[in-house]
């Protein structure tokens, strides 16, 4: 199994177990525990399920039991730190160290994935290509289509990046079109790439209040007090709403513009401690 294809050690351990079990019927949590030199046969599953975390003392034992090389072992150890990191800054620091150990092709893709979300207009340019007929001769039309407009060099750079990532391609007429392909970086890594993009889009929503009439936008605020159960119900309802919006977009035809949907729901206070009676 390729350890460099993972960023979350829990997911790696889960897939490792399933892979070994499919090849060797005798393989079990107990046999791995014996090989790694610990006594609890339930620890492995607790790690996979997130009920427990791998300690620094146990990391070398797991590396040996997993049969990882020196470089793979260093990557696995960093993967443990990355999974346990509790702030974006801490995750980014470990991620940079992990990226340095990746094979060249994977390292290049990882950097370009991060670059894709570094500028708001990279994503918008890709969506715009479903509407406009753009080739090398009229890239300026693409730059002027965005609001706020971008420069010609920015539009050309966006197209180059999208081509490198194979997120767009030239159709039979020579116009750039989005491919039916998405960037996947794993649930743990995606926030590192996406949070900056989301902040840019939230900032742009402020400008939309002044630049668009209510017929073109819908921005509202509701401040409320909720219980923990109510909070979870609202989050699930928002997720369902987003899926319904995606269904509308996927069945939509004759697109004429690119829009942004930002759903913002977050605590404004600390949570009141529950008092036991």
**pLDDT (tens digit per residue) in 62-111:** 999 999 999 999 999 999 999 999 887 888 889 889 888 887 655 555 67
Return the exposure string of 146-161: e unless at least 16 CB atoms fall within 10 Å of the residue's CB, then b. Answer: beeebeeebbebbbeb
What total of structural domains would you count in the chain? 2
Question: What percent of the chain has pLDDT above 90?
Answer: 55
pLDDT given at position 268: 75
| 36 and 108 assigned to the same domain | no
| 34 and 124 assigned to the same domain | no
Question: What percent of the chain has pLDDT above 70?
Answer: 91
pLDDT given at position 144: 95
Residue 169 pairs in a beta bridge with 177
Question: What confidence category does residue 39 fall into, taking pLDDT thresholds of 50, 70 and 90?
Answer: confident
Question: What confidence category does residue 2 fall into, taking pLDDT thresholds of 50, 70 and 90?
Answer: confident
Domain edge (last residue) among 85, 101, 117: 101
| 113 and 142 assigned to the same domain | yes
| 8 and 46 assigned to the same domain | yes
| 107 and 201 assigned to the same domain | yes
pLDDT given at position 190: 60
| 111 and 124 assigned to the same domain | yes
pLDDT given at position 47: 95
Under a CB-based contact definition with an 8 Å cutoff, are residues 63 and 37 in contact?
no
| 94 and 122 assigned to the same domain | no
Under a CB-based contact definition with an 8 Å cutoff, are residues 177 and 130 in contact?
yes
State which of 47-56, 111-120, 259-268 shows the largest mean pLDDT: 47-56
Dihedral (Cα; 188, 60, 1, 182), 10-degree rounding:
10
Give domain status of residue 257, yes or no. Answer: no
pLDDT at 184 over 70: no
Question: What confidence category does residue 16 fall into, taking pLDDT thresholds of 50, 70 and 90?
Answer: very high
Give domain status of residue 276, yes or no. Answer: no
Domain edge (last residue) among 56, 85, 101: 101
| 31 and 65 assigned to the same domain | yes
pLDDT given at position 214: 87
The chain-wide mean pLDDT, for the chain, equals 88
| 91 and 54 assigned to the same domain | yes
Under a CB-based contact definition with an 8 Å cutoff, are residues 185 and 113 in contact?
yes
Where is pLDDT greater, at 7 or 143?
143
Give domain status of residue 159, yes or no. Answer: yes
Q: Tokens standing for 232?
A: 């979870």
- Could you list the residue range(s) of the whole structural domain that residue 47 is in? 3-101
Q: Tokens standing for 65?
A: 């039991």
Q: Secondary structure of 64-117 in the HEC alphabet?
A: HHHCCCHHHHHHHHHHHHHHHCCCHHHHHHHHHHHHHHCCHHHHHHHHHHHHHC
pLDDT given at position 101: 87
Q: Tokens standing for 250?
A: 């996927």
Element (H, E) at 176: strand 176-178
- Cis-peptide, bond into residue 148, ω within 30° of zero: yes
pLDDT given at position 246: 86
| 128 and 193 assigned to the same domain | yes
| 85 and 110 assigned to the same domain | no
* Nearest residue to 168 (alpha-carbon basis) of 150, 182, 155, 154: 182
| 93 and 141 assigned to the same domain | no
Give domain status of residue 271, yes or no. Answer: no
pLDDT given at position 266: 86
Under a CB-based contact definition with an 8 Å cutoff, are residues 59 and 80 in contact?
yes
Please give the Cα distance from 168 to 127 (Å, whole number): 10
In CATH, what number is assigned to the domain containing residue 119?
A: 1.10.10
Give domain status of residue 182, yes or no. Answer: yes
pLDDT given at position 29: 93
| pLDDT single digits (tens) 122-172 | 999 999 999 999 999 999 999 999 999 999 999 999 999 999 988 899 999
* Nearest residue to 160 (alpha-carbon basis) of 133, 187, 122: 122
pLDDT given at position 110: 67
Give domain status of residue 111, yes or no. Answer: yes
Give domain status of residue 69, yes or no. Answer: yes
Q: Tokens standing for 166?
A: 């194979």
Give domain status of residue 29, yes or no. Answer: yes
Over residues 4-9, the mean pLDDT reads 88
pLDDT given at position 165: 86
Domain edge (last residue) among 68, 101, 134: 101
């Amino acid at each position: 199994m390729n350890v460099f294809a993972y960023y979350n050690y829990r997911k790696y351990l889960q897939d490792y177990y399933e892979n070994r079990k499919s090849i060797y019927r005798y393989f079990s949590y107990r046999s791995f525990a014996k090989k790694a030199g610990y006594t609890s046969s339930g620890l492995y599953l607790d790690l996979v399920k997130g009920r427990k975390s791998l300690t620094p003392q146990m990391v070398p034992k797991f590396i040996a039991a997993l049969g990882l090389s020196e470089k793979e072992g260093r990557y696995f150890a960093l993967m443990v730190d990355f999974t346990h990191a509790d702030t974006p800054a801490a995750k980014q620091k470990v991620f940079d160290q992990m990226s340095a150990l990746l094979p060249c092709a994977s390292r290049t893709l990882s950097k370009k994935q991060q670059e894709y979300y570094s500028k708001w207009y990279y994503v918008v340019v890709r969506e715009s290509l479903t509407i406009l007929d753009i080739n090398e001769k009229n890239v300026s039309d693409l730059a002027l289509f965005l609001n706020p407009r971008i420069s010609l060099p920015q539009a050309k750079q966006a197209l180059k990046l999208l081509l490198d990532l194979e997120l767009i391609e030239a159709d039979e007429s020579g116009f750039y079109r989005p491919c039916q392909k998405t960037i996947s970086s794993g649930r743990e890594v995606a926030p590192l790439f996406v949070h900056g993009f989301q902040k840019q889009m939230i900032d742009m929503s402020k400008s939309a209040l002044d630049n668009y009439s209510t017929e073109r936008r819908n921005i509202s605020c509701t401040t409320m007090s909720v219980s923990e159960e109510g909070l979870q119900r609202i989050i699930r309802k928002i997720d369902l709403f987003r899926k319904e919006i995606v269904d509308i977009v996927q069945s939509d035809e004759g697109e004429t513009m690119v829009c942004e949907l930002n759903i913002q729901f977050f605590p404004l206070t600390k949570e009141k401690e529950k008092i036991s009676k």
